[in-house]
Structure 1
Amino acid sequence: MAEILPIRPWRYNQQLSQRIDDLTSPLFDVVSEKQRAALYQSPYNSIHLSVPQPPNAAERAYKLLESWKEKGIILQDKLPAIYVYYQYFKVQGSSKEFCRKGFVSHIRTYDWNENVILRHENTIPKAVNDRIELLEKIQLHASATHGLYTDSSFTLEKYMDEAVRNPLYETEDYQGVRDVLAVIHDKGVIQHFIDFIQPKTIILADGHHRYEGSLYYKHKQQEANPHHTGKEGYNYHLMYLTNTESDDLKILPTHRLVRDIANFNEEDLLKKLEEDFIIKPIEDACTLNEVILGKPWAFGLIFRENAYKIRLKPESLSKIKWHFPDVIKALDLTVMHYFVIEKALGIPGKEQRQSENIEFDRSFSDCLKRVIQGEAQLAIITNEVSIEDVKKVCASGYTMPQKSTYFYPKVIGGFLFSSVKENEFSTPVYSPF
């Protein structure tokens, strides 16, 4: 049972929201240092709540949030609503304009073992701790995570299409994506959304760290509250929900950069890989992502002077010693992390989540540049993960390696903020919800 609720978010006042472009920001795990520095210059940008500046970042965000409330910088909506969020975008190699359709609501924060919200990848502990500290202090979801439900009949889209004809906000974000926000206040339609999602299982597409932060916060508050009912604000999480069956759901590959490996040697690495991979030199490294496109267990290796396509020999798949079901072993990313990162580079699987030697980058050109400039010793270029693979992993009960998927485009922050503070979360007496 996936319980969702309409929200009464805090939003920028009408005067400020006319300049919504200046107030939105990227999510905490994709915003670059350069972007942060620029956004911090804007006193009312949402970055101050989602990724507050150190030192004492959480305390700083709390004081700023209270100030914004007192001064009317942000105001809480009077009526609970479902917020419709559309993202119009293009991808490399296609002239089509895609539109990812979805809506934002509260959703009950379910434990993983309840099998209502399913994760598909591992998290990095430090990032989770940062999210916990911030949520505990400000009791506010500054950005929505991204969840997926499955509906081949596209039942909810007609209501969303109607609402988006009268947008609240429309902006072009840092990705070049056109973001549109609209609202549904109609009681009957909102109830239809609640009833329709209720029997669904939700796949967590993006925001594993923030969701785990909410889980920790919920358990801590439950233990501290002897009168816990399950209806308190701390039991809920802010989520953007989209349909897995849409052709406009895009997952981009996330490549690996390897750096600071002691005694790193290209020739030695290739010799280790020869046992399990067919290795083919590639003259032009700029074509590697195209050379491996769509080929299972195929990867590109970029060294400073040379580039190679490698493809796992089918008979080697049975060598994987990790205790995973076959569906997980057969994933490209499992093959890469086992044969290339653990077996050849010598970084054990259990250490890879926290390894300082592995970085993640979805930009192929950035990977190429960083290796050529000597910032990384090696780039491992991967194919994208399919939504069907994500479903299979979730159904298995296992997870992919961290940073396995990059759902594109990313949700942006700043359109609305959702409070779980009890006096701000609770439904007003005049509301039917």
Structure 2
Amino acid sequence: MAEILPFRAWRYNRELSRNIDELTSPLFDVVSERQRKALYQNPYNSIHLSVPVQPDPAEHAAALLEQWKDDGSIVQDKLPGIYVYYQYFKLANSPKAYCRKGFICHIRTYDWSENVILRHENTIPKAVNDRIELLEKTELQVSATHGLYTDPDFELEKLMDEAITVPIYETEDYQGVRDVLAVIHDEKAIRRFMNVIRDKNIILADGHHRYEGSLIYKHKMLKAHPGATGNEGFNYHLMYLTNTEADDLRILPTHRLITGIASFNEETILQKLEADFIIKPVEDSDTLNEIIAGKPWAFGLMFRENAYKIRLKPESLHKITWPFPEEIKKLDLTIMHYFIIEKALGIPGKDQRQSENIMFDRSFSDCLKKVIKEEAQMAIITNEVSIDDVKKVCYSGYTMPQKSTYFYPKVICGFLFSSVKEEEFREPIYSPFVK
């Protein structure tokens, strides 16, 4: 069902790679302005390709890319490979050590209607347009999106474990995560990867905007090249694939901050909620996240002076009028956006995606600080989303509200780049994967 291919990555030359930790960067949609300014100081940092400087950022990236190719700053690997990528990390307040195991490959860019690659979030048009322009100008995929496949037999992990013992790169990133990259060139092993993924659906965990950009770019190119065979580089996308059945797939909670609502009143909001929620005052607001942890349909409400734990009454579930299947109505996210944001705060569901009154923040301490400093009127503290919840949404055909999930850790940019330029994408004559 899902076709993947090995590819010949463009990577920094041997001399530059000795300082690979100085060349990596956060993904374009998570890098802060402060991080950007610091990373721009290194003329070879990958930030110059992923978030190029103004004005004319796409033109700047395209010119710089050609310069790097011409002077040998980046070099294309001679053999096609599957690139194994492990991320070793810990979570705050937990001694457990995790290792997320995955691999980077080319995957055919499927239309959403084909139900091969499944999305769980909608995209923001402006962010998609930025990615399309960059892809058109550079014909380069700078960073891999994150996809999920399901394999309870863990058929590929043994191959990956063997490969990672001979790493290409190893570094600690801005998240405090240890990132390790290796490559598999063996034809038999690569075909095993291709065969295992062939009958899988892929859930898009992270990188909806980049994938949507590749999808739109593919259709523009097909329209411009009516004789295309379907095997051209523009038909493929760079993706990092991990197994949903591993216990190292972490999704951190994303809290909501509310701001700019006219006639905002704490007492009125609580009155609107009390018919559907059990409401309990919390003396110490800095414990809200701990109090609701692991409890279904439970949320923390944080106001400047007061904090509350609220939990939906089961008998209120039937009141949800949104046209969702039952399993989607039962999700914490649906309950939060329906009962709290629409019914209590008065922001209709159809307007929530574009609403300037809703902000997203993964940091509980940031939420606390912003509410106390009156930078936000209130915060809605929520639990993390489970991978089972993500699967339910994807297989239902519906999508979650924007920025509902934060898969951790984030993939970093700079280990490798993937070209969709035809002469660079095409396999050399000596490759066993020539089509």
The interval holding the TM-score normalised by the smaller chain is over 0.9
- Separation in structure 1 between the aligned mates of residue 288 and residue 194 of structure 2, nearest angstrom: 46
Q: Residue 98 of structure 2 corresponds to which residue in structure 1?
A: 98
What is the CA distance between 1:94 and its match in structure 2? 2.0
3-state SS of paired residue (1:7): coil
Q: Residue 232 of structure 2 corresponds to which residue in structure 1?
A: 232
What is the CA distance between 1:302 and its match in structure 2? 1.2
Q: Residue 270 of structure 1 corresponds to which residue in structure 2?
A: 270
Q: Map of 1:204-219 to 2, 5 A cutoff?
A: 204-219=204-219
Q: Residue 154 of structure 2 corresponds to which residue in structure 1?
A: 154
What is the CA distance between 1:285 and its match in structure 2? 0.9
3-state SS of paired residue (1:222): helix
- Separation in structure 2 between the aligned mates of residue 374 and residue 33 of structure 1, nearest angstrom: 23
What is the CA distance between 1:222 and its match in structure 2? 0.7
Q: Deviations over 1:11-40 (max 9, x none)?
A: 111111110111111111111111111111
The one-letter code matched in structure 1 to 2:91 is V
Contact 1:292–1:309 (8 Å) recurs in 2: yes
- Separation in structure 2 between the aligned mates of residue 132 and residue 259 of structure 1, nearest angstrom: 32
Q: Residue 24 of structure 2 corresponds to which residue in structure 1?
A: 24
Q: Map of 1:176-187 to 2, 5 A cutoff?
A: 176-187=176-187
3-state SS of paired residue (1:286): helix
- Separation in structure 2 between the aligned mates of residue 40 and residue 173 of structure 1, nearest angstrom: 16
- Separation in structure 2 between the aligned mates of residue 347 and residue 422 of structure 1, nearest angstrom: 48
The one-letter code matched in structure 2 to 1:207 is G
Structure 1 window deviating more from structure 2 (92-101 vs 179-188): it is 92-101
Q: Deviations over 1:76-126 (max 9, x none)?
A: 111110000000000123212100000000000011111111111222222
- Separation in structure 2 between the aligned mates of residue 57 and residue 376 of structure 1, nearest angstrom: 33
The one-letter code matched in structure 1 to 2:65 is L
- Separation in structure 2 between the aligned mates of residue 325 and residue 388 of structure 1, nearest angstrom: 15
Contact 1:261–1:357 (8 Å) recurs in 2: yes
3-state SS of paired residue (1:388): helix
What TM-score do you get using the length of structure 1 for normalisation?
Answer: 0.98
What is the CA distance between 1:284 and its match in structure 2? 0.7
Contact 1:123–1:353 (8 Å) recurs in 2: no
Q: Residue 126 of structure 1 corresponds to which residue in structure 2?
A: 126
Q: Deviations over 1:255-303 (max 9, x none)?
A: 1111122222222222222222221111111110011111111111111
- Separation in structure 2 between the aligned mates of residue 137 and residue 345 of structure 1, nearest angstrom: 44
- Separation in structure 1 between the aligned mates of residue 40 and residue 217 of structure 2, nearest angstrom: 27
- Separation in structure 1 between the aligned mates of residue 245 and residue 322 of structure 2, nearest angstrom: 32
Q: Residue 420 of structure 1 corresponds to which residue in structure 2?
A: 420
3-state SS of paired residue (1:130): helix
The one-letter code matched in structure 1 to 2:378 is L
Structure 1 window deviating more from structure 2 (415-424 vs 35-44): it is 35-44
Q: Residue 191 of structure 2 corresponds to which residue in structure 1?
A: 191
Q: Residue 261 of structure 1 corresponds to which residue in structure 2?
A: 261
What is the CA distance between 1:55 and its match in structure 2? 2.2
Q: Residue 281 of structure 1 corresponds to which residue in structure 2?
A: 281
3-state SS of paired residue (1:219): helix
- Is 1:48 aligned to 2:73, yes or no? no
3-state SS of paired residue (2:35): helix
Q: Residue 379 of structure 1 corresponds to which residue in structure 2?
A: 379
Q: Deviations over 1:224-257 (max 9, x none)?
A: 1121111010100000000111011111111111
Q: Residue 252 of structure 1 corresponds to which residue in structure 2?
A: 252
Q: Residue 430 of structure 2 corresponds to which residue in structure 1?
A: 430
Unaligned runs of 5+ in 1: none
3-state SS of paired residue (1:248): coil
- Separation in structure 1 between the aligned mates of residue 268 and residue 54 of structure 2, nearest angstrom: 42
The one-letter code matched in structure 2 to 1:368 is L
Q: Identity, % of aligned pairs? A: 77
Q: Deviations over 1:290-329 (max 9, x none)?
A: 1111111111111122111111121221111111111111
- Separation in structure 2 between the aligned mates of residue 30 and residue 61 of structure 1, nearest angstrom: 19
3-state SS of paired residue (1:399): coil
Q: Residue 292 of structure 2 corresponds to which residue in structure 1?
A: 292
Structure 1 window deviating more from structure 2 (377-386 vs 163-172): it is 377-386
Structure 1 window deviating more from structure 2 (359-368 vs 106-115): it is 359-368
The one-letter code matched in structure 1 to 2:69 is K
- Separation in structure 2 between the aligned mates of residue 349 and residue 126 of structure 1, nearest angstrom: 21
The one-letter code matched in structure 1 to 2:333 is L
- Separation in structure 1 between the aligned mates of residue 160 and residue 393 of structure 2, nearest angstrom: 29
Q: Residue 115 of structure 1 corresponds to which residue in structure 2?
A: 115
Q: Deviations over 1:320-364 (max 9, x none)?
A: 111111111110001111111112212221221122221111111
3-state SS of paired residue (2:209): helix
Structure 1 window deviating more from structure 2 (9-18 vs 128-137): it is 128-137
- Separation in structure 1 between the aligned mates of residue 310 and residue 31 of structure 2, nearest angstrom: 32
Q: Deviations over 1:169-199 (max 9, x none)?
A: 0000010000000010111111111111111
Q: Residue 88 of structure 2 corresponds to which residue in structure 1?
A: 88
Unaligned runs of 5+ in 2: none
What is the CA distance between 1:372 and its match in structure 2? 1.4
The one-letter code matched in structure 1 to 2:107 is I
- Cα RMSD after superposing both structures: 1.1
- Separation in structure 1 between the aligned mates of residue 120 and residue 383 of structure 2, nearest angstrom: 17
Q: Deviations over 1:128-162 (max 9, x none)?
A: 22212211221111100011111111110111001
Contact 1:300–1:309 (8 Å) recurs in 2: yes
The one-letter code matched in structure 1 to 2:122 is N
Q: Residue 58 of structure 2 corresponds to which residue in structure 1?
A: 58
The one-letter code matched in structure 2 to 1:116 is V
Q: Map of 1:62-73 to 2, 5 A cutoff?
A: 62-73=62-73
- Separation in structure 2 between the aligned mates of residue 354 and residue 126 of structure 1, nearest angstrom: 12
Runs of 4+ in 1 over 4 A off after TM superposition: none
Q: Deviations over 1:374-397 (max 9, x none)?
A: 221111111011111111111111
Contact 1:328–1:400 (8 Å) recurs in 2: no
- Separation in structure 2 between the aligned mates of residue 353 and residue 127 of structure 1, nearest angstrom: 14
Query: Matched residue pairs, number?
Result: 433
Structure 1 window deviating more from structure 2 (84-93 vs 311-320): it is 311-320
